[in-house]
Amino acid sequence: GPSPVRLAVLLLVPATVAVSHWLQPAQFWTPVPAADPEAFRGLAITEPVVEAQGRLLADALAALPPPRPGRIEMYGATFAPYASQNVFLRESGVVTKTMQQRFDGRIVQLVTNNATSLSLPWATPSNLHRTITGIARVMDREHDVLFLHLTSHGGYDGKLATESWPLETEPVTPQQLRAWLDEAGIRWRVLSISACYSGSWIAPLAGEGTLVMTAADAMHTSYGCGSRSPLTFFGQAMYVDALNETLSFTEAHVKARRLIDEREKAAGKTDGYSNPQISEGAGIREVLERLAAQQER
């Protein structure tokens, strides 16, 4: 362009830069906030952990005692695959203790958590499948009862969340669990799903020989799965409060529903009552009644 225009541009460019720096001083570094000591940075994959995880599940399955003649035995597992929140680790321990004390349960704990990587097998889908298969080899599949408690975050799509970075694991689905149970040939099943939207697990798992309990219906979240929660509301109401007063899962579930409703209202849950669900097959009802009577003797 003409010389006056070029001169104007040459003057305006440095003037613009100077004004912008006066209004917003240049910043050549960004402060980094202090690291949160509680933040989850993934599973520690050390040599001792890898060696331990190579044998822990086999050891746990090998330690299961055989059935006793004339008794209904309870075998089972807890499955807590969400590594960053200790509420699921604690719930696994509480449920295991309740099953052992109330039903003489022979329980394998599967937990994904850095605190237990040297002592408990990880809660991966593959380990859950191996556990079901391994228990089926030990138990009397025609007379004994298999108990499973799965606790994690649940999705609206019915998948149970896993968190195990840097391990890559897939969410567990009710269809997948049903296939593993059918493949193992286990006749009598008590299945407990502690997760949001877990009511969607009822239909795929229900059957003549199955009792399924969930912490919520298919449309609502459950409660108490935050990082500061001691237990989920379902875990507390069902396995601490209710089952310590009765050996009936159906009676315990009725009481747990009432307690959860009261506690959710008191806590200010805003998205509606979680509405825990239960389905009991006609066949397993008699088996569980005999199991309860056996424990009361």
pLDDT, one tens digit per residue, over 207-264 is: 999 999 999 999 999 987 776 778 999 999 999 999 999 999 999 999 999 999 999 9
Average pLDDT rounded to a whole number, residues 84-99: 96
Which two tokens mark 61? 């399955």
Would you say residue 124 has pLDDT above 70?
Answer: yes
pLDDT value of residue 228:
73
C-alpha to C-alpha distance for 54 and 56, rounded to whole angstroms: 6
pTM for this predicted structure: 0.86
Residue type, 295: Q
Q: pLDDT band for position 30 (50/70/90)?
A: very low
pLDDT value of residue 19:
53
pLDDT value of residue 51:
97
Among 128-132, 154-158, 243-247, the minimum mean pLDDT is found in: 154-158
Would you say residue 28 has pLDDT above 90?
Answer: no
Residue 14 vs residues 6, 11, 259: alpha-carbon distances, Å: 13, 6, 70
Q: Crossing angle of helices 174-184/125-138, nearest 10°? A: 30
Find where tokens 């590594």 sit.
Answer: 83
Would you say residue 24 has pLDDT above 80?
Answer: no
Q: pLDDT band for position 13 (50/70/90)?
A: low
Which value, to the nearest 10 degrees, does the dihedral of the CA atoms of residues 113, 163, 106, 204 take? Answer: 170
